[in-house]
Every structure is written in structure tokens, then in C-alpha cells.
Amino acid sequence: MYLKRLEIQGFKSFADKTSIDFENGITGVVGPNGSGKSNISDAIRWVLGEQSAKTLRGSKMEDVIFSGTSKRRPLGFGEVTLVLDNKNKEIPIDFSEVSVTRRVFRSGESEYYINKTSSRLKDVRELFMDTGVGTDGYSIIGQGKIEEILSTKSDDRRNLIEEAVGIVKYKTRKKESERK
Ligand code: ATP
Ligand code: MG
């Protein structure tokens, strides 16, 4: 499994539809300060379901939508699509390519799609559970994350290890069935 493509439109500084292709290997993103490098990693977090505006370096979720410039009007919605190669079926779905789309309107309403089919945030979460991908996964190591892992409470560290060994799904299902 690897990140193949990211399509960003109306998200943060990406007003026009921008498609970024990644190869299987290491990709470096370089550019001047303020050119949008961190906005790319924000887009990845966001499409995977990030709910915290603060984590996305904003104060409210609407801040992710292109807010306009002196020459350009703000946009009404923002959209990000992430495409993963899934030839090795690491993601438990019978497709060799998996795409996830999230769209948000100024009203705050978010829509999610898995392979172009309307889905819930819960479906996106479940799809990536135990794969390391996702907002609670370890595929995105943000600034300060390593330190956090080293100094964090043992329970939080345990959550990370459980995600890595692949038992979060079962624990979540157990919790859900106990609630019913
Ligand atoms: P650095 O090298 O300093 O880390 P960077 O390349 O990571 O910079 P980003 O933080 O990704 O830069 O981009 C910041 C830019 O994105 C700023 O110019 C900011 O105005 C712009 N930006 C953020 N949110 C929006 C938005 N909603 N609409 C328009 N532009 C936005
Ligand atoms: Mg940055």
C-alpha cells in the first residue's frame, strides 16, 4: 500500500484543482516558506477524517476552505481526494486502488466518499483501522510526535502499539457490541 495521488481543490491555499502524483518510495516536498508544503500534509490528515481544526492549524473547520486573496474570491467548498495503491490488499477491500474523498461546505457539513460511493466518517475510520493509516495511525508523524510517543502516558502508547499489531478493530467491535 502506498500513497499514489492527492487531488486538492478549494482546500487552504489550493484554489484550483491540483493533482499531485507520488511514486512508491520517498518523495520530498520543497518550496519557499508559506508556499503550501504543510497544507499538503494537512490535506492528507483532513481527508482521513481529522476533526480538530487546531491540528489543521486553524481555529474552526471552515478555515480549511480557500479564503480568497486580493485577486480571488473565497470558495464555497473544499475537497480533497486521496488515492492509495492497494494491490497487496493491505486495506480490507476488494479493490486494487482505494480513493477517499472528503468535501466540506461553509455550513460545516462534511461529505465522505470511498471509491466514489457516498460513505460515513465511520466507514472511512473502519477501512483504515489497524493499517496505520488514518488520524489515529502512525503514518503521519507530525512535529513533536516522536517526543509525544516517548513521554506520553502508557495507555496512549499502548493504543499505538495495538494499532500496529492490528487489534483495534476487534476492540472497537467489542465495545460497540457491549453498548447494544
Ligand atoms: P513553511 O516553510 O513556513 O513551513 P509551508 O510551505 O509549509 O511554509 P503552509 O503553511 O503550507 O506553508 O502554507 C501557508 C499558506 O497557506 C499561507 O500563505 C496561508 O495564507 C495559506 N492558507 C492557509 N489557509 C488558507 C485558506 N483557507 N485560504 C487561502 N490560503 C490559505
Ligand atoms: Mg510548513
Strand partners, 99: 83
Residues within the annotated binding site? 32-39
pLDDT in tens, 154-173: 887 888 888 888 888 889 88
pLDDT in tens, 1-37: 999 999 999 999 999 999 999 999 999 999 999 999 9
Distance of alpha carbon 6 from alpha carbon 132, whole angstroms: 18
Distance of alpha carbon 60 from alpha carbon 137, whole angstroms: 23
Structural Rg of the chain based on CA atoms: 17
Calculate the dihedral angle through the C-alpha atoms of 56, 162, 139, 6, rounding to the nearest 10 degrees: -80
Ligand 1 atom 17: the closest Cα is on which residue?
A: 34
Ligand 1 atom 21: the closest Cα is on which residue?
A: 13
- With a 6 Å cutoff on the Cβ, whether 118 touches ligand 1 is no
Go through the domains of the chain in sequence order and give each one's CATH number.
Answer: 2-120 (3.40.50.300)
pTM of the complete model: 0.89
Residues within the annotated binding site for ATP? 32-39
Distance of alpha carbon 170 from alpha carbon 14, whole angstroms: 38
Q: Ligand 2 mean position to 67 CA, how many Å? A: 18
Atom of ligand 1 nearest to the CA of 42: 11
State ipTM: 0.98
Atom of ligand 1 nearest to the CA of 69: 29
- With a 6 Å cutoff on the Cβ, whether 63 touches ligand 1 is yes
- With a 6 Å cutoff on the Cβ, whether 30 touches ligand 1 is no
pLDDT in tens, 38-65: 999 999 999 999 999 998 999 999 999 9
CA atoms within 13 A on the CB side of 96: 1
- With a 6 Å cutoff on the Cβ, whether 33 touches ligand 1 is yes
Helix (H) or strand (E) holding 57: none
- With a 6 Å cutoff on the Cβ, whether 102 touches ligand 1 is no
